[in-house]
Structure 1
């Protein structure tokens, strides 16, 4: 039976009723926390004590209730632990920890945070419903309780990892103003990233040419893609275990280091090292931002949000190319790289600050409480190694790197693809990747993605489409700006404008596609239209990308490619995100990004192989004999190629060699794109209007 009010003050009555609140069925996914006898006796706060038999009744009720939960073999009592802390600290109402716990309890009880003082609040009893056997419970019976438990939407999910819980707490605690601030900061980061990409795409051929290594463009890209692809899975683990803000900050550090190394490089080896840090850093930042965008939007509006955060590419498409020309003519390519070692941190760091500020606010409100684990240092290390899935990460990173490196090394191997070590690396890499998949399915204590999602046909279809799209695109794109300058006689800025057609067109198309998806809820039918259009555009490019061809036709083909590519980019992300729940958003995005990176590496390998085996031979065939002594320099240096006057025999020979190589690159990309039909029809036709994935104030 309940303690008599005359024996207890109102603070004690309120505390005991809070503690004896029984959790509903929907809250059994919590961790059971057991208390010692000494702790149980401390449930009675300062004030007039209970009689001995009343204290025994409280003690008996608590352990009987715990026993019933334990017999259900469910984990359901973390909130109980929160209430326990409240009672222990009830005599210190000004303590910040107490305030946070009290606020959380009031959220649990369905009440807003009080504006009254702590003392006034403590005098107002809180009554709540019990859902256990009331006859056995005694205290907390229907005679003494009236309110009900709130909806789960008021609190972060308890069955998710720390990083996911933190971002849910942020969206539950912030206002629409903070949501708008985050979206604007993502927009500004994309603007800076767009300028960087546009400028560096124009400067990189000149940077490698300064080291007499223009023909190593694809080699550098393959190594960078391999390293970037290998980092996405550990990055997903980091975002889930550590937090979105922390993972973003770490990748910002890698990206900044890469830009500094670029600016300081005076040989091809330093440049390659810089490319790896740069690719890993910016790849990780873009990935983190995409995961964050998924966290703060619902599926129905995600297309529009993605269109908004991607719209800066329309601005940078033209301004970036002109800026690159300015760096080359008036400063140096080194400063073009080095400037972004300053610009990017200044633009990106505020996003980290905003996320951390709102997380602190959520903690103060009691929406999320980070409890001490009680583990020793060694236990902590073991715990995080298991949670991080270190064996799986090593298997994946090693397997992917060993599998992709031969695509780079085969060009310089004694017998090319027939070399023993090239074949061995491909086989070993493939075996390691298969072992990784089997380990994730059967052995991993904490798999990065449940196998029911990993082998979901929609996820597999989206990943196959991303792989195919990137492979086909990079079959011909690496030498595109060089082609435009040498063959079509365009300046650096003009070549950048043409190469940036995709960014401009997709910036507009993404809004249209996002709005269509918002209204209809479906996206697969857009892919059924986009795939044939993309293949048609690449096929046309084979015909028009020839010496003395009209540049307008090339731009037309680029526009068609942009329309299809816009549909791909948006629908692939929506497909993988719609197929999983919020806990696995980062992992699903990682699988998609890995697929695209592998596709890009394979595409660059195909491009490099075609270039190596066709361009130099074509130069021998088309150059006048007087220029053959300079063959090696012409082959490896873009400025040397441009140094020959337009319409001179040497320039015409170089243009014909470009046309010969580019035709074969485009043919390979167009033929392989047929795989995308299979990918599209693997996906389910899902209605995003009927799906809910996020919590709190989201777009």
Structure 2
């Protein structure tokens, strides 16, 4: 069994630590908590209960049942991700609205990124399985809306809800992995979690080919059944263990120091309205709303300007931008002076964490400038079968997962991450350079495959480094916050990249098509080609050759060159991170390490910890 709150790595058959040891450890953790500025007015119940949960599982078949259950989730989640990745282009094209791909992706990314801290707060304030259940409900609702939609607006709404749920499932699993593993194995555990992508990349190609371009609705709908069924064992196991852990009480050493005892006992006397208001403050609900609206109003005009009357001179777009920036400034003021429990508490904003956020922000921003319409471009210029095209679109994900094992093992046996990450950023920049070069006559099969392979190699080294370093830089009770904030700002980087790419595409592609198709197609036909990649691909060879020229003109210098430059900029914050020693600690700022204990007498331990809680409350 793994738990994360002891000073030494040990395996013992003793049923209970000595009372003096508990006293010393509670005192140590209280001092650590004080030094990191933990606000004692809030209870991190999820942290306490996940540690109690590990005591319930022990080291036998129960813990393996948990591992297998989580593995089922990982497999189903990766199968869905690999399969549905291509359906957005097909869905928007089926409504003749392929140009809205950027707007939908931008809105989806913004809302889902703001939802990540919300899910993380649920995981900390309630429990990990509760956060799983909330995420699953949103996930299924979004899939249903996308599968049943009759217009692009319903599809977009479903996509937003689905993405919030999907990222929630991924986020909670990442938090659980961080709870249970030491720094030296953290990256490897993340790589194992992502491993099903390697297998499913090939399986999903056959699934996508079987459904074809026209049956994308069934491609979404099937996962409304598959994912809940595969998640059921994990939910049953986790809720069973959580209920049993409650009987033990605040069993972890951290629980005694995190428990807001007075308010906790008052919770039962609160009205429903008071309880809702309390948790609204606890998740910084107002801050999340400000942030979501701010970035939506700032970025969406970039994707809508080409369709708006008079473009950027349209008063509505000007108003959206103005209000968006006002709201973003208001968000900063709220976080500094108004929020009881800030979304970004100052205690987690250390140099390494800020640099990791910057690295991933640049990674996602530049990556999505290049990536958003990359698969659409390849679909039009190449004569690959749908199966081969799906194989290629999954190459990046497979490479990231496979090379994550290499990065994780380098971290494990060198006990550092910094130089591995620096090498990864350089390698990824080389891959982005290949993508920039591989346009027009250089767009051979070998170039497209090799460029993606190199990008995935460098990306894996960079991503694993940021994940491990950001979690290492904060104490355990702030880990979920750190994970969600890293995910939040990297997702906002992706949203900015998508907005830039969408603005370039919607403003330049129509003009390029009109230029290259002059004398080949009329305005109606050009509009149809612009609105659907399937129509663009099925033109006569003569017309398609001109379409390919328009696509190349739109993507190479306007999209791929900025993406390359941003990939190089990520080197600057990477040089400024602290190269933590990756050992058996849960993090690099506390003395807590992962321990293994067998045959714990739960009743005895619960009784003693209850006495400790009473003593701490009295103190």
TM range (shorter): 0.7 to 0.9
Q: Give the aligned length.
A: 557
Answer yes or no: is 1:404 the counterpart of 2:338. Answer: no
* Structure 1 segments unaligned to the other structure (5+ residues): 1-25, 27-109, 114-127, 130-146
Q: CA 1:395/1:622 → structure 2, altered by over 3 Å: closer, same or farther? A: closer
Q: Are the aligned partners of 2:135 and 2:166 in contact in 1 as well (CA < 8 Å)? A: yes
Q: Are the aligned partners of 1:223 and 1:408 in contact in 2 as well (CA < 8 Å)? A: no
Answer yes or no: is 1:592 the counterpart of 2:486. Answer: yes
Higher helix share: 2
Match of 1:388 in 2: 283
Answer yes or no: is 1:579 the counterpart of 2:473. Answer: yes
Answer yes or no: is 1:223 the counterpart of 2:101. Answer: no
Q: CA 1:591/1:626 → structure 2, altered by over 3 Å: closer, same or farther? A: same
- 358, 361, 366: which one aligns with 2:244: 361
Q: CA RMSD in A?
A: 2.9
Match of 1:162 in 2: 45
Match of 2:542 in 1: 649
Query: Structure 2 length normalisation: TM-score?
Result: 0.83
Q: CA 1:423/1:691 → structure 2, altered by over 3 Å: closer, same or farther? A: farther
Shift of 1:254: 0.6
- 112, 135, 148: which one aligns with 2:15: 112
Structure 2 counterpart SS, 1:566: helix
Cα distance between partner residues in 1 of 2:117 and 2:327: 15
Match of 2:130 in 1: 246
Instruction: Show CA shifts across 1:344-373 (max 9, x none).
Output: 111123222222221222233445499743
Cα distance between partner residues in 1 of 2:554 and 2:274: 58
Match of 1:433 in 2: 328
Match of 1:69 in 2: none
Q: Are the aligned partners of 1:471 and 1:600 in contact in 2 as well (CA < 8 Å)? A: yes
Match of 1:514 in 2: 408
Q: CA 1:268/1:551 → structure 2, altered by over 3 Å: closer, same or farther? A: same
Cα distance between partner residues in 2 of 1:194 and 1:615: 33
Shift of 1:464: 1.1
Q: CA 1:211/1:183 → structure 2, altered by over 3 Å: closer, same or farther? A: same
Q: CA 1:619/1:243 → structure 2, altered by over 3 Å: closer, same or farther? A: same
- 169, 172, 179: which one aligns with 1:288: 172
Q: Are the aligned partners of 1:392 and 1:439 in contact in 2 as well (CA < 8 Å)? A: yes
Structure 2 counterpart SS, 1:476: helix
Answer yes or no: is 1:184 the counterpart of 2:68. Answer: yes
Instruction: Show CA shifts across 1:427-464 (max 9, x none).
Output: 4333433333343334433334431323x121111111
Match of 1:687 in 2: 581
Cα distance between partner residues in 1 of 2:137 and 2:363: 30
Cα distance between partner residues in 1 of 2:233 and 2:27: 27
Q: Are the aligned partners of 1:291 and 1:589 in contact in 2 as well (CA < 8 Å)? A: yes
Cα distance between partner residues in 1 of 2:305 and 2:173: 35
Instruction: Show CA shifts across 1:162-188 (max 9, x none).
Output: 111111111233223444433333332
Cα distance between partner residues in 2 of 1:295 and 1:418: 51
- 206, 222, 227: which one aligns with 1:339: 222
Query: Structure 1 length normalisation: TM-score?
Result: 0.74
Shift of 1:224: 0.5
Answer yes or no: is 1:526 the counterpart of 2:410. Answer: no
Q: CA 1:669/1:152 → structure 2, altered by over 3 Å: closer, same or farther? A: same
Match of 1:475 in 2: 369
Q: CA 1:190/1:547 → structure 2, altered by over 3 Å: closer, same or farther? A: farther
Q: CA 1:404/1:695 → structure 2, altered by over 3 Å: closer, same or farther? A: farther
Instruction: Show CA shifts across 1:387-440 (max 9, x none).
Output: 333333333333333333333333333343444443443343334333333433
Instruction: Show CA shifts across 1:553-589 (max 9, x none).
Output: 1111111101111012211111211111111111111
- 286, 294, 317: which one aligns with 2:201: 317
Cα distance between partner residues in 2 of 1:518 and 1:240: 28
Q: CA 1:380/1:481 → structure 2, altered by over 3 Å: closer, same or farther? A: closer
* Structure 2 segments unaligned to the other structure (5+ residues): 6-12, 34-39, 598-619
Structure 2 counterpart SS, 1:429: helix
Cα distance between partner residues in 1 of 2:189 and 2:233: 20
Deviates more, 1:406-415 or 1:564-573: 406-415
Match of 2:611 in 1: none
Q: Are the aligned partners of 1:545 and 1:663 in contact in 2 as well (CA < 8 Å)? A: yes
Match of 2:87 in 1: 203
Answer yes or no: is 1:278 the counterpart of 2:162. Answer: yes
Q: CA 1:297/1:640 → structure 2, altered by over 3 Å: closer, same or farther? A: same
Structure 2 counterpart SS, 1:625: coil
The 5-angstrom pairing of residues 292-311 of structure 1 reads 292-311=176-195
Q: Are the aligned partners of 2:181 and 2:586 in contact in 1 as well (CA < 8 Å)? A: no
Match of 1:639 in 2: 534
Cα distance between partner residues in 1 of 2:124 and 2:307: 41
Deviates more, 1:634-643 or 1:419-428: 419-428
Q: Are the aligned partners of 1:530 and 1:565 in contact in 2 as well (CA < 8 Å)? A: yes
Deviates more, 1:538-547 or 1:418-427: 418-427
Answer yes or no: is 1:628 the counterpart of 2:531. Answer: no
Instruction: Show CA shifts across 1:77-136 (max 9, x none).
Output: xxxxxxxxxxxxxxxxxxxxxxxxxxxxxxxxx9838xxxxxxxxxxxxxx98xxxxxxx
Cα distance between partner residues in 2 of 1:192 and 1:677: 35
Shift of 1:604: 1.0
Match of 1:47 in 2: none
Cα distance between partner residues in 2 of 1:543 and 1:556: 12
Answer yes or no: is 1:662 the counterpart of 2:545. Answer: no
Cα distance between partner residues in 2 of 1:484 and 1:148: 62
- 390, 393, 416: which one aligns with 1:496: 390
Q: Which has the greater radius of gyration? A: 1
Shift of 1:198: 2.0
Structure 2 counterpart SS, 1:627: coil
